[in-house]
Structure 1
Amino acid sequence: MAETPEPIVQATKYTVNCLPEDCIDSHLFEITVEYRGADRWAVKRHSSCLGADGTWEYEMRPSSREDEWLATHRFDLDTALQLAKEQAPLVTVNGFTVSDALRMAERRLP
């Protein structure tokens, strides 16, 4: 009888955010770093993916992604986390900056 293999556990997603996790609007301002295989990671915000040049682009379906696009939108983990940390303070949602959201959250405190 075959031996049951040991399960593999792997982290595949990190969340980067300037708002505290208990802030009601936190999820709106988050950036994620998501594993894409072969030790490559994507920096994501909703349906957009960060490029090496610092611009956000819509992330096409896998069958539509060309090698050139992948080369500029996939990073090693350390680089992806650093890029996400650099972008997190710049997130704007419906004209509200991270600073605006933090001020509003402070006013909601009892």
Structure 2
Amino acid sequence: MADVPEATCLPVRYEVSILPEGDINRHVFNIDVEYRGAGRWAVTRHGSCLGADGTWDFGIKEYDRGDDWLNSHRFDLDTALRLAREHAPHIVVNGETALDAYRRTHPET
């Protein structure tokens, strides 16, 4: 019987939000930082991808984007997490920002 290679594990996704874990609204205001291979990470949210210029572009499929687009929408991990943290308070859902939702649901802080 042939040897079976050992399974490996790779962390591939971070969830970024200003709302605390367990907050009922967190899932609608979160941003994902997802590994795309070769040390490059994407900052995504509901089918959109954050670019280096700070704008969200709809569509995150690498196969329908050119190298220029990919280079402006893929980052090293530290940069991707920094961008996600910077944008997290400003995510808007139904006219309310994540910061508005945080202040409404956590008035004591």
SS at match of 2:79: helix
Structure 1 unpaired stretches of 5+ = none
> Equivalent residue for 2:88?
88
- 1:47-90 Cα distance to aligned partner (Å, 9 max, x none): 11000111110125333111110010001111111111111111
Instruction: Give percent identity, aligned residues only.
Output: 55
> Equivalent residue for 2:52?
52
> Cα RMSD between the aligned structures?
1.6
> Equivalent residue for 1:27?
27
Change (3 A) 1:82 1:62: same
Matches within 5 A, 1:3-42: 3-42=3-42
Question: What count of residue pairs does the alignment treat as equivalent?
Answer: 108
Query: 1:24, 1:54 → 2: CA distance?
Result: 27
Runs in 1 of length 4+ with deviation above 4 angstroms? none
SS at match of 1:43: strand
Q: Is the 8 A contact 2:52 2:73 kept in 1?
A: yes
SS at match of 1:8: coil
Structure 2 unpaired stretches of 5+ = none
Q: Is the 8 A contact 2:49 2:58 kept in 1?
A: yes
Cα offset, 1:105, TM superposition: 1.7
Change (3 A) 1:60 1:91: closer
Amino acid at match of 1:7: A
TM-score (norm 1): 0.90
Q: Is the 8 A contact 2:49 2:60 kept in 1?
A: no
